[in-house]
Amino acid sequence: MRASVERDAVELSRIRERQALAGLLGHIAAQAGQLLNVAATAEKVGTNRETTESHLRLLEDLFLAVRLPAWGKSLRSRVSAKPKVHVVDSGLAARLLRLTPEKVTGIDPTSLTDFGHLLETFVVGELRKQASWLDDPVTLGHWRTSDGAEVDLVVEYDDGRVVAFEVKASERAPGKDFRGLAQLRDLLGERFIGGVMLTTGTRSYTYEERLHVMPIDRLWTPVPV
């Protein structure tokens, strides 16, 4: 009898662990492309901080989630030190959020916000893959200041040169959307190779010095020479 109870207790514990892990993945999908606060996440999914951190590492080991570290904390004061969290498979994240094509093409603000975050997650994932193919090692991160300037992905070479990317879930890129890229360019000076605003539009053009706009599909579509 005792052995049966102990076995059932272990199995129940495993079920609870699986449920907690699934709940965490669903929460991460809802937070994709946003700053990660482990303590707040633990409270939201109903586990303690240590368990949540352990589960996060497991999701990363399973290539289901990835933390994009904060970058450039020494550039200026009051730069966020928190990582961003991304779901490796944006299609899985969309399924967890029940974000269907019909919802995306509708006018529901929540669905459009979720789409924007998942688009960033998708693009960051594509850029991370391409960065892994580079001959030279690079450091990847995101940059966000306390006053709201941000860059979705910063790629830094070992010699200090930087390329930066911002994702916009829109066909147009108004000037205010270049705030983070422009600040980073001005702070880095000659170290800043260029900044790219990736949009859902079809045009590529230069916005101003070392700041450019490109369609997202340029990441995988060959450009005729």
pLDDT by residue (tens digit) across 48-83?
Answer: 899 899 889 989 998 999 999 999 877 766 788 899
According to the model, what pLDDT value does residue 11 have?
44
Q: What is the mean pLDDT of residues 211-225?
A: 85
- 27 domain-assigned: no
Q: Which residue range is the domain that position 182 belongs to? A: 65-219
- 24 domain-assigned: no
Report the number of distinct structural domains present in the chain.
Answer: 1
Which residues 6+ apart lie within 8 Å of 100 measured at CB? none
The predicted model scores a pTM of 0.86
Beta strand extents in the chain (DSSP E only): 34-35, 65-68, 84-87, 138-144, 150-157, 162-167, 192-199, 205-208, 211-215
30-65 in b/e form (b: 16+ CB < 10 A) is ebbbebbebeebbeebebeeebbeebbeebeeeebb
H or E segment to which residue 186 belongs: helix 179-188
- 123 domain-assigned: yes
According to the model, what pLDDT value does residue 153 have?
97
Residue in this structure with the two tokens 């290539």, named with its chain if needed: 63
According to the model, what pLDDT value does residue 100 have?
84
Q: What is the mean pLDDT of residues 181-205?
A: 94
- How far is Cα 195 from Cα 110, in angstroms, rounded to an integer? 29
Residue in this structure with the two tokens 């999908």, named with its chain if needed: 29
Higher pLDDT, 180 or 222: 180
- 187 domain-assigned: yes
Q: What is the mean pLDDT of the chain?
A: 87
- 102 domain-assigned: yes
pLDDT by residue (tens digit) across 143-188?
Answer: 998 888 899 999 999 999 999 999 999 988 888 999 999 999 999 9
- 94 domain-assigned: yes
